[in-house]
Every structure is written in structure tokens, then in C-alpha cells.
Amino acid sequence: MKKLDHTIAVTEQKKNRLLDLYLDEMINKYEYEAKRERLEQEITRMNDELFLLSSEEKNEVNITYIKQEIRALNDTDKDLFHVFQALIDFGVVYQNGQIDLKYTFQATEEEKYKSFL
């Protein structure tokens, strides 16, 4: 990810130098617009890639944490409050005795939608 950050910074510098060339009238407007558009597309692509990489890294850490907490459920001699606190976001108890639990690792509807994009 550091390499990608560096590449984005270098491309931003190229975009700034391109503007300087245009302002110094060393390239015409058509050349400037075409090259600027290409650089902006490249920056956007790299930012998207960086976002995906950071999301994957965050999910991997979260999955590892959840696996550890689930393994802790097997140890019945310990107080499991911290385990349930880590695994359960919140619960709703209805008058008829039904219980709905929202787990910390469940995707929201918005997150499910984003995964299809």
C-alpha cells in the first residue's frame, strides 16, 4: 500500500507539472486536457485500488478477531462475557420471548450493496 501511495503522489506531481507546462504555454489546451484526463483517471483507479486493499486488510483483521472469540467459546471454565460482547453488537427481546441478535460481523444492507459494486 505504501508503494501505491507513493505512485499516487508521483502522479499528482506529474499533473501539477502538466499545469505548469500549460500555463507557461509550452503545450496547447488540447494536449493539456487530454493528458490531464489520463492522469486523473490513473489517480482515480489507484485510489479505488487503495480503498479495496485497505478494506480487505480491515476485514482480515476483523475475521481473525472474531475467530479468536469464537474459539474462546469452547473454554467453558472462563467468564464468557467479553466473548459475547465482542461477537454481539446488540439484541432485541420481544414480549413473546423471541430474541433477535445483531452480530458484529454481520454486514449491513448498505455494506452488502457496496460489495456488489
Domain assignments of the chain as residue spans, ordered by start:
2-115
Return the pLDDT at 116. Answer: 37
| Positive or negative: CA dihedral 23, 25, 29, 33 | negative
Kindly indicate the confidence band of residue 26, based on its pLDDT and cuts at 50, 70 and 90. very high
% of the chain with per-residue pLDDT over 70: 71
Task: Summarize the confidence of residues 76-102 as an average pLDDT.
Answer: 78
CB atoms within 10 A of CB 6: 10
pLDDT, position 17: 95
- CA dihedral for 44, 47, 49, 51, sign (positive or negative): negative
108: confidence class by pLDDT, cuts 50, 70, 90? low
